[in-house]
Amino acid sequence: MKKVELESLLKSFFLFFTSQLLLVSALFFVDYKKELHNLDTTLFSQMSICSFNLSCKEYTIDFAPLQESKLYKLHKTQKRVSSFFSIPGSRENSFEIYLAKEEYDKLIYALQHELTTKFIIVVFILIFLSLLFSFYTLSPFKNALRVTEEFIKDILHDFNTPLATLRLNISMLKGSIGENTKIERMEKSVETILSLQSNLRAYLINHTTQQESFDLYKFLNERVVCIDKIYRDIHFYVDVPHIQVQTNREAFTRVIDNLLTNAAKYNTKDGSVTLTIENKTLKIQDTGKGIKNPKRVFDRFYKEQSRGIGIGLHIVHKLCEELHIPIELESKVNKGTTFSLNLKVLILS
């Protein structure tokens, strides 16, 4: 299950379960108060009967000074639950029929235990119904997402033939007329399309299960060589030791390529991009234009320049979440940007 599907499922489950749980809790609270009242009514009725025949083993009978205001009512104190009844022909004393507070608490506990058991059963039923409801409401979303992904995959597959034709014809042009600025621009455009194709493909695939170990220094140099062919006026510097990391290589490649491409694309002429590592954190620093609104830089379709479509860094953030790589950035306008990737979980000790 994809992250967005899991998030939708959890939100649907939480909304339905919480609303139903609040309703059921209120009903059980009202029922508890009602049962408590019924218990007191039953106790008073039994005490009333006991006052007539004076034969009741569960209650204690005693005499108390007559107080008419207390007659024929149930009274609760810290030691007992009692009722007072008049004695025919007596104006000084009354019967006090009572139940010890410990015995009364046992009856309350039994009532609470019964209702709690019922409540737990109802909660489990609610959980089951909430899951059914959540999966039911999620199914149209999953179908729409599946159709969209299949459509994008078909489009990406159809890109291959025209792109291969373009690259072949560009190579033939270079062979016949040599290096040319127009041909160079065409090559950059094709590479941009290929990069976009790779980004979209990486966006659709779950990379958490496929992992391999590789040397970080060699890997970064390979990526720099690829990017350097496109941006020849940018100087790249790799100051990273030989460190073994373990992660999904394809997803990590998309992260590094996107960050390097952005650092080169929005750099100044004859600018530089430096890769260093400090405290297991890879830093990619450029001398470019900087970012005016760093907080929005990972938002989908957000861009500050006319170039691009604004999904590269969004994909970077998504892939970093999949690979459990915390990513941060610092940027100053007209001074440059630094992206920091915490590789602590990737580095092999």
Question: Could you read off the pLDDT of 166-201 as tens digits, one per residue?
Answer: 777 777 777 777 777 777 777 777 777 776 766 666
Confirm whether 253 is domain-assigned. Answer: yes
Please indicate, yes or no, if residue 325 is contained in any of the structural domains.
yes
Q: What is the mean pLDDT of residues 328-342?
A: 90
- How far apart, in whole angstroms, are the C-alpha atoms of residue 45 and residue 39? 10
125 and 10 inside one domain: yes
Residue 134 and residue 131: Cα distance in Å, rounded?
5
Does residue 177 form part of some domain? no
Question: Residue 102 falls within a domain, yes or no?
Answer: yes
Q: What is the pTM of this model?
A: 0.52
Contact 299, 314 (CB under 8 A): yes
Whether the per-residue pLDDT at 83 is higher than 70: the answer is yes
CB 260 within 8 A of CB 273: yes
Residues in contact with 25: Cβ distance below 8 Å, sequence separation at least 6, in sequence order: 119
| Domain count of the fold of the chain | 2
Helix 312-322, helix 181-204: angle, nearest 10: 40
Question: Do 215 and 121 have their domain in common?
Answer: no
Task: Kindly report the CATH number assigned to the domain that includes residue 221.
Answer: 3.30.565.10
247 in a structural domain: yes
Same domain, 122 and 220: no
Domain boundary (137, 167, 197) is at 137
For residue 255, is pLDDT > 70?
Answer: yes
Provide the residue range defining the domain that includes 252. 211-342
- Domain limit, last residue, from 111, 137, 163: 137
Q: Which of 116, 137, 158 represents a domain boundary (last residue)? A: 137
**If pLDDT is split at 50, 70 and 90, which confidence band does 110 have?**
very high
Considering the domain boundaries, does residue 176 fall inside one?
Answer: no
Task: Quickly state the pLDDT bin for 343 (edges 50, 70, 90).
Answer: very high
Q: Is residue 193 part of a domain?
A: no
